Amino acid sequence: MRKRKILCTLGPASMKERVIQRLDRLGVDLFRLNLSHTDLANLERQIKLIRQYTPRPICLDTEGAQVRTGRLENGSAVIKLNSVIRFVREPVIGRAHEMNLYPEDIYSQLDEQDILFLDFNSVMVQVIRSTPEFIEVRALAGGVVGQNKAVVVKKAIRLSPLTAKDIEAIKIGLKLGIQHIALSFAGRGEDVDQLRNLVGSNVELISKIEGMSGMKNLPEIAARSQAILIDRGDLGREVRIEALPFVQKAITYQANNIGVPVYVATNLLESMVSRPQPTRAEVNDIINTLLDGADGLVLAAETAIGGYPVECVSMIDKLIRHFEQSRPVRAIPDELAHSDESEIECKSIISGSNRQAGHGEKKFRLAERARQLVVEDRVIMDADQIARGVFAPLKGFMTRHILASVLDNYRLPNGDIWTLPILLQISRETAQTLELGQEITLTGAKDGEEYAVLTIADIFTQDLALLARRWFGTDDRKHPGVQRLLQGGDYFLGGPVQLLRRKRTPYLRYDFMPNQTRELFETRGWNIVVGFHTRNVPHRAHEKLMKLAFERLDADGLFISPVVGPKMIGDYESDIVLKSYELLIEHQYLSRESVVLGAFSSYPRYSGPREAVFTAICRRNFGCTHFVVGRDHTGVFDFYRPEESQILFMTLGDIGIKPIFFDSLHYCRECDDLVEACNHAVGDSSSLFSLSGTRARSYLCERKAPPDWLMRPEISDFILREMSRGEKVFIE
């Protein structure tokens, strides 16, 4: 007698007399009808058809709290990279440029910059405009989208656990005596309660764990359910694929300890959709799933639409029987034996970091009880980047202990490489009104909005001149970093920060979070990604450096992220910089298929080599594997030697991202090309012309187009056109 259960999904391939009877004889324990792919008008007929040929119980599997695409012309749409799609509320027959999402609850919960994955990660899009009537997105990764396909929203959203279709289907099922219901996307215990109130006490409820909320709230969900089902397909949209096996093991282990049966679904015998035999890897996966403690296995596409439904069930039956007859001693890995069994610890297996406060009541209680500290935009920007993981592994503004370690050793106290002080500078008078352990809200000086909460871990003073020498290597007031430091107070606050809200900027569509870019690179299949840092519009040397780096590494992708925070007087306005790079990509001087244009919400620190390494570490956090470092990267006038940044990189060693060093590029008239060195440089320097942002800027300030070898005409024409229209091009 087989102990472990087989759950089998019926669909077009198996909803037939002969197939159902053979599956019955093979001992299927529960036949499943997926309401996401079942027409409500046909449900009663299908239940009665199944009961004609088997007495086995039937389970209705709800659509649940899942966002899906609407109807599409011809059933699918091809979404091209960088195309704009409008999701509209009004029902339409969807096409590539316009389609529906449902349920309608989702429209009010989407904001600019949100990331969505359509149809099992086939397409990745970013919200660029949100209105009451529609949502506009741009495609960050293209592909084919089908109708009624799952959409994953990369943030916490709240949907009803049952759709209107689910409720009607359950009413039909109860009328026909259905005794098993599976709740899709169970997120909280109260979701199960809502279903229980609808079906009564005699129906067996299977709660499906398909997302992070379900994992987090597993104990309360399991306590209200007769079984747990791990859906690896939907769960795999929220958990990195390399972490998914460990998540499955952790959920299984905890369900076993709670004492609730646990079933596992998705891709068990995927190859048998189109062939009569499984792969060795699939067989191994099934046995390992049973070894981990699974009480049942669920076949979905294999039996619903596959060509070999009977063979699939037969194979599962044989594997379970062989396992139960010769199962070795089972051992649970120590790393999954959590001391606190009431919660699955997911932090180490979820990509990215986000120290953003929760929504709603908790968020505002926190802000109301804290004292306000009015700060400038640079502090708000730093708090934002700390909280969102751009400055990882930093968790807050530096204490004196952390600052000393960074200044003396280029490392945090735990040994992680970090080169740049991140400080919150205040006056002596303000410091005297604060105390350790106090929570304060960081409030914008310009708008009075509360942006973050700082929990004070340290209040300390510094000799500013000495700090300048240790930080910048000089206390000369002509150094802009020294000048800024000396103009502030000589007290500092250190401690962790939590984000309350983001400061709105016109660059949100470019302002990715690190986990978003990592997911984007993974979606595009990029393994080698080159990061490029700049605060200027691109001239030909920038373009050449990116292409050389790309070619040397045989790279997959390029991540360009210009600085969009406060800059020096005379620097380019951020929107001019971003538009210039868009033109470079639009005209295919850089391949649009191989480039992601982002925005680095930061500001110049004037810290020379320390800042050069800092910019690389931030790109590492975004998921870049390599980083372009020029001859005078983040130089400050003549305060640092051109090679100092490269020397510091080599001294520090492995920082988690590999620098690609370049010497200065020149335009050689004889070669008619940009070169690091050539034979014409010997004895004939008049053939060489230096390329620099300063040189290009001087032409533009005189309302002249730089030579083509210095700047692409499309970019210089755009800038001159903006100047002629009276638009701001340079910071004043």
Q: What is the CATH number of domain 362-499?
A: 3.10.400.10
Q: In this prediction, what percent of the chain has a pLDDT beyond 90? A: 75
Q: Are 239 and 261 in contact (CB under 8 A)?
A: no
Give DSSP secondary structure letters for 342-405. TS---GGGSSS---BPPSTHHHHHHHHHSEEEEE-HHHHHHHHHHHTTTTTT--EEPPHHHHHH
Higher local confidence (pLDDT), 504 or 727: 727
Render pLDDT for 224-256 as a digit per residue (tens, 0 to 9). 999 999 999 888 878 888 899 999 999 999 999
Look at residue 382 in the predicted model and tell me its pLDDT.
97
- Sequence length of the chain is 732
Mean residue pLDDT of the chain comes to 89
Q: Is the per-residue pLDDT at 486 higher than 80?
A: yes
Look at residue 353 in the predicted model and tell me its pLDDT.
45
Look at residue 608 in the predicted model and tell me its pLDDT.
92
Q: Are 125 and 137 in contact (CB under 8 A)?
A: yes
Q: What is the C-alpha separation between 687 and 596, in angstroms, rounded?
A: 35
Burial class (CB in 10 A: 0-12, 13-18, 19+), 55: exposed
Nearest to 631 by CA among 673, 665, 667: 665
- Per-domain residue ranges for the chain? 5-66+159-336, 67-153, 362-499, 508-724
Lateral strand order in the sheet of 626-629: 595-597, 557-562, 529-534, 626-629, 658-661
Look at residue 236 in the predicted model and tell me its pLDDT.
84
Q: In this prediction, what percent of the chain has a pLDDT beyond 70? A: 92
Q: Which residues pair with 558 in a beta bridge?
A: 530, 595
Record the tokens describing residue 186, joined without a space.
Answer: 């169970």
Amino acid at 291: L
Q: What is the CATH number of domain 5-66+159-336?
A: 3.20.20.60
Look at residue 393 in the predicted model and tell me its pLDDT.
96
Q: Is the per-residue pLDDT at 542 higher than 80?
A: yes
Averaged pLDDT, 674-686 = 63
Nearest to 612 by CA among 420, 469, 385: 420
Query: From the CB of residue 52, how many other CB atoms can be counted at a distance below 10 Å?
Result: 9
Q: Is the per-residue pLDDT at 585 higher than 90?
A: yes
Q: Is the per-residue pLDDT at 732 higher than 50?
A: yes
Look at residue 368 in the predicted model and tell me its pLDDT.
53
Q: Which fold has domain 67-153?
A: M1 Pyruvate Kinase; Domain 3 (2.40.33)
Render pLDDT for 392-442 as a digit per residue (tens, 0 to 9). 999 999 999 999 999 999 999 999 999 999 999 999 999 999 999 999 999
Lowest-pLDDT range, 52-56, 313-317, 682-686?
A: 682-686
Averaged pLDDT, 90-113 = 92
- pTM score: 0.77
Render pLDDT for 587-621 as a digit per residue (tens, 0 to 9). 999 988 999 999 999 999 999 999 999 999 999 99
Averaged pLDDT, 648-670 = 89
Query: From the CB of residue 480, how many other CB atoms can be counted at a distance below 10 Å?
Result: 16
Look at residue 352 in the predicted model and tell me its pLDDT.
37
Q: Is the per-residue pLDDT at 497 higher than 90?
A: yes
Lowest-pLDDT range, 27-31, 381-385, 456-460, 670-674?
A: 670-674
Q: Which fold has domain 508-724?
A: Rossmann fold (3.40.50)
Look at residue 686 in the predicted model and tell me its pLDDT.
64
Averaged pLDDT, 77-93 = 93
Give DSSP secondary structure letters for 32-51. EEEGGGS-HHHHHHHHHHHH
Instruction: Report how far apart, in Å, the C-alpha atoms of 27 and of each of 53, 55, 56, 134, 192 are.
Output: 13, 11, 9, 49, 29
- 3-state class (DSSP) for residue 699: helix
Q: Is the per-residue pLDDT at 51 higher than 70?
A: yes
Render pLDDT for 133-172 as a digit per residue (tens, 0 to 9). 999 999 999 999 999 888 988 888 888 999 999 999 999 9
Averaged pLDDT, 685-690 = 69
Averaged pLDDT, 220-227 = 96
Look at residue 369 in the predicted model and tell me its pLDDT.
56
Render pLDDT for 324-358 as a digit per residue (tens, 0 to 9). 987 554 444 444 443 333 333 333 332 334 555 54
Lowest-pLDDT range, 329-343, 371-385, 480-494, 602-616?
A: 329-343
Nearest to 590 by CA among 715, 695, 477: 715
